[in-house]
């Protein structure tokens, strides 16, 4: 990778409707491509970035008509070397993964193993890859998240107004998300709803874990049995709340953790699943249903071949 320094003078950027409501730190990260994130936050803390001639904090939400002063700075601008772009394979996978698209919204079937954001040694996550593939797009933001090892339906807003509306729907009951999960053991019929508060914890290693705790936030998941196998059950999970790792921790909490879950799984059960050929977490965002432009939109992502093939392996052992 080769880089060159480019000197940029003071810029005054007028905020239009497309950026209305966006946090100023996120706006700057998009405007100042090539500038380290830490430097962007330093500019804000030191007051070198001004909005309407005044200092603002990182969480300030821009309004249409705001004037943002971006100071002179030198930034590293990468050349157009092919290795800086998402791989051809990833681009083809994401192009074929589109489930729905219009002027305001993009819904994709995210592959397992792809983080939604870059970082921690990853050059590209889903959103960075999409922005690189669509340099003409003025706005691309994740509406919600999926864990790196979870596949399936994920929404990306193409307009600020779409992001705001979908966030409001997610906070209420306007978005119905259903997941398919394979759990260890025989899921009991009585456990159709798991209500257990969840609390985030960060270990000394920096790894983020979630646990059931009375001091945690309210969390509710509905479960429905889909199919039973020897030593495993395929369930449909519907998270009513949207807590981190909610389905995984709730399944573990009642004694039936997800198959091949490296954080919350059962080692003995996972060893058996791996012997039978499963190599990834069995959790897939199967369907999304929500109101969009006056109609109810329901989108479905089929199981990835590794997961559907593993189910066939289990069926053949019956």
Whole-number Å distance between alpha carbons of 233 and 187: 6
Q: Which residue has the higher pLDDT, 160 or 180?
A: 180
Q: Is the torsion defined by CA of 204, 269, 239, 192 positive or negative?
A: negative
Task: Write down the pLDDT at residue 201.
Answer: 86
Task: Write down the pLDDT at residue 191.
Answer: 85
Nearest partner of 243 among 176, 162, 145, judged by Cα: 145
Asked if pLDDT for residue 118 goes beyond 80, the answer is: no
The superfamily (CATH) of domain 173-316 is: Pseudouridine synthase (3.30.2350.10)
Task: Write down the pLDDT at residue 79.
Answer: 40
3-78 and 85-157 agree in CATH topology: no
Cα 133 off chain centre by: 18
- Band (pLDDT 50/70/90 cuts) for residue 213 is very high
Whole-number Å distance between alpha carbons of 305 and 318: 20
Asked if pLDDT for residue 291 goes beyond 80, the answer is: yes
Asked if pLDDT for residue 209 goes beyond 80, the answer is: yes
Extract the tokens encoding 10: 């003071």
Are 44 and 25 in contact by the 8 Å Cβ rule? The answer is yes
Q: Which of 25, 66, 109, 147 is catalytic?
A: 147
Mean pLDDT in residue range 249-256: 97
Q: Which residue has the higher pLDDT, 110 or 62?
A: 110
At 132, which helix (H) or strand (E)? helix 126-133
Annotated domain spans of the chain: 3-78, 85-157, 173-316
pLDDT digits (tens, 9 = 90+) for 120-129: 455 678 998 9
Task: Write down the pLDDT at residue 104.
Answer: 95
Whole-number Å distance between alpha carbons of 280 and 114: 12
Whole-number Å distance between alpha carbons of 130 and 85: 10
Do the strands 220-229 and 232-239 form a parallel or antiparallel pair, or are they unpaired? Answer: antiparallel
Looking at the domain 85-157, which fold is it? Answer: Pseudouridine synthase (3.30.2350)
Task: Write down the pLDDT at residue 135.
Answer: 87
Mean pLDDT in residue range 179-187: 98
* 54 CB burial (10 A radius; 0-12, 13-18, 19+): exposed
pLDDT digits (tens, 9 = 90+) for 56-80: 998 898 887 889 999 887 654 444 3
Task: Write down the pLDDT at residue 206.
Answer: 66
3-state secondary structure of 38: helix
Task: Write down the pLDDT at residue 222.
Answer: 97
At 165, which helix (H) or strand (E)? helix 160-171
Task: Write down the pLDDT at residue 123.
Answer: 63
Mean pLDDT in residue range 123-149: 89
258: Cβ–Cβ under 8 A, 6 or more apart, which residues? 181, 182, 183, 184, 247, 248, 251, 252, 264, 265, 281, 282, 283
Task: Write down the pLDDT at residue 138.
Answer: 82
The CATH number of the structural domain formed by 3-78 is 3.10.290.10
**Whole-prediction pTM value?**
0.77
Q: How would you label 150-189 residue by residue, b for 16+ Cβ within 10 Å and e otherwise?
A: bbbbbbbbbbbebbebbeebbeeeebebbbbbbbbeebee
Reply yes or no on whether 147 is catalytic.
yes
- Band (pLDDT 50/70/90 cuts) for residue 196 is very high
Task: Write down the pLDDT at residue 75.
Answer: 53
Asked if pLDDT for residue 119 goes beyond 70, the answer is: no
Asked if pLDDT for residue 290 goes beyond 70, the answer is: yes
Q: How would you label 1-36 residue by residue, b for 16+ Cβ within 10 Å and e otherwise?
A: eeeeeeeeeeeebebeeebbbbebbbbbeeebeebe
Whole-number Å distance between alpha carbons of 308 and 304: 6
Task: Write down the pLDDT at residue 18.
Answer: 66
Longest dimension (CA), the chain: 71
Do the strands 151-157 and 283-292 form a parallel or antiparallel pair, or are they unpaired? Answer: parallel
Do the strands 73-78 and 3-8 form a parallel or antiparallel pair, or are they unpaired? Answer: antiparallel
Task: Write down the pLDDT at residue 81.
Answer: 39
Whole-number Å distance between alpha carbons of 249 and 35: 37
3-state secondary structure of 123: coil
């Amino acid at each position: 990778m080769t880089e060159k320094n480019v000197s940029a003078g003071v810029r005054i950027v007028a905020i239009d409707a497309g950026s209305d409501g966006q946090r100023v730190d996120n706006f700057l990260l998009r405007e100042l491509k090539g500038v380290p994130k830490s430097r962007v936050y330093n500019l804000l803390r030191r007051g070198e970035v001004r909005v309407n001639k005044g200092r603002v904090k990182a969480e300030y939400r821009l309004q249409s008509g705001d004037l943002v002063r971006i100071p002179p700075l030198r930034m590293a601008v990468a050349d157009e070397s092919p290795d800086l772009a998402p791989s051809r394979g990833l681009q083809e996978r994401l192009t074929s993964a589109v489930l729905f698209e219009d002027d305001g919204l993009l819904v994709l079937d995210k592959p397992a193993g792809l983080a939604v954001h870059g970082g921690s040694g990853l050059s590209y996550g889903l959103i960075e890859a999409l922005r690189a593939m669509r340099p003409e797009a003025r706005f691309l933001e994740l509406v919600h998240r999926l864990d790196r090892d979870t596949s399936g339906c994920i929404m990306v807003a193409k307009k600020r107004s779409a992001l705001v509306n979908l966030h409001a729907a997610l906070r209420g009951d306007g978005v119905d998300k259903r997941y398919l999960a394979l759990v260890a053991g025989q899921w009991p019929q009585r456990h159709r709803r798991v209500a257990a508060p969840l609390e985030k914890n960060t270990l000394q290693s920096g790894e983020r874990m979630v646990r059931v705790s009375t001091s945690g936030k309210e969390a509710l998941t509905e479960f429905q049995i889909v199919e039973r196998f020897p030593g495993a059950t395929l369930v449909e999970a519907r998270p009513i709340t949207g807590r981190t790792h909610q389905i995984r921790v709730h399944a573990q909490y009642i004694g039936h953790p997800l198959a091949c879950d490296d954080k919350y799984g059962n080692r003995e059960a996972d060893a058996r699943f791996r012997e039978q050929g499963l190599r990834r977490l069995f959790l897939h965002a199967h369907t999304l249903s929500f109101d969009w432009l006056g109609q109810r939109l329901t989108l479905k992502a089929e199981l990835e071949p590794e997961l559907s093939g593993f189910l066939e392996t289990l069926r053949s052992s019956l």
